[in-house]
Amino acid sequence: MSEFKRSASDTRRVQIIDVSGLFYKFAFGGATALSSTIMVNGVPTVVDTTLPAYTIKTIHRWAKGGFNPTVVCFDGRGSTRSRKAYFAMKNGTSNGEPIGYKGARESQDSRFYDGINLTMNLLTQGGVCCLKADGYEADDLIKAAVDRAKIQYPDLPIDVVTGDVDLVPLVDDQVSVFLSSRKLTWAESKDIEKRHYVQLTPQNYQDYIEGLTNFKNLNVPYNTVLLAKLLRGDKSDDIKGYPKFTPTKFNNLIYSLTEDGYDLSDICRYDSPTATICYRGTGEPIPQDLIDVTPREQKMIKFGEPPCLTKLCSILSNYLEEDVINHIRFMYNGINLNGAFTGLPDDFNRRPANLTVDIKGYISSVLQGAVSVVQINLPIL
User: Can you give the pLDDT at residue 100?
Assistant: 55
Distance from C-alpha of 215 to C-alpha of 359, rounded to nearest angstrom: 34
Where are the extended beta strands (E) located within the chain? Answer: 14-18, 35-40, 43-48, 70-73, 93-94, 97-98, 129-131, 158-162, 175-180, 197-200, 233-234, 239-240, 274-279, 299-304
**Model-level pTM greater than 0.85?**
yes
Three-state DSSP state, 234: strand
Domains and CATH numbers, the chain: 14-217+354-374 (3.40.50.1010)
Main-chain dihedrals φ then ψ at residue 354, nearest 5 degrees: -120, 105
Three-state DSSP state, 45: strand
Distance from C-alpha of 262 to C-alpha of 250, rounded to nearest angstrom: 16
pLDDT, tens digit, for every residue of 282-312? 889 999 999 999 999 998 888 888 999 999 9
Distance from C-alpha of 325 to C-alpha of 329, rounded to nearest angstrom: 6
Distance from C-alpha of 330 to C-alpha of 343, rounded to nearest angstrom: 11
Q: In sequence order, what are the beta bridge partners of 39? A: 44
The total number of residues written for the chain in this structure: 381
pLDDT at residue 98 greater than cutoff 70: no
pLDDT, tens digit, for every residue of 42-95? 788 888 999 999 999 999 999 999 999 999 999 988 776 777 777 877 665 444
Distance from C-alpha of 228 to C-alpha of 212, rounded to nearest angstrom: 13
User: Can you give the pLDDT at residue 104?
Assistant: 47
Task: Characterize 107-116 residue by residue with b for buried, 16 or more Cβ atoms within 10 angstroms of its Cβ, and e for exposed.
Answer: eeeeebeebb
Q: Are 160 and 146 in contact (CB under 8 A)?
A: yes
pLDDT at residue 336 greater than cutoff 60: yes
pLDDT at residue 99 greater than cutoff 60: no
Name which residue leads in pLDDT, 135 or 270.
270
Pairing of strands 35-40, 70-73: unpaired
176-183 long-range contacts (CB < 8 A, ≥24 apart) are 176/200, 176/201, 179/208, 180/21, 180/25
Cα separation values, 19 from 72, 161, 352, Å: 6, 8, 20
pLDDT at residue 96 greater than cutoff 90: no
User: Can you give the pLDDT at residue 350?
Assistant: 73
pLDDT, tens digit, for every residue of 111-167? 888 999 999 999 999 999 999 998 889 999 999 999 999 999 999 999 999 999 999
pLDDT, tens digit, for every residue of 164-208? 999 999 999 999 999 999 999 999 999 999 999 999 999 999 999
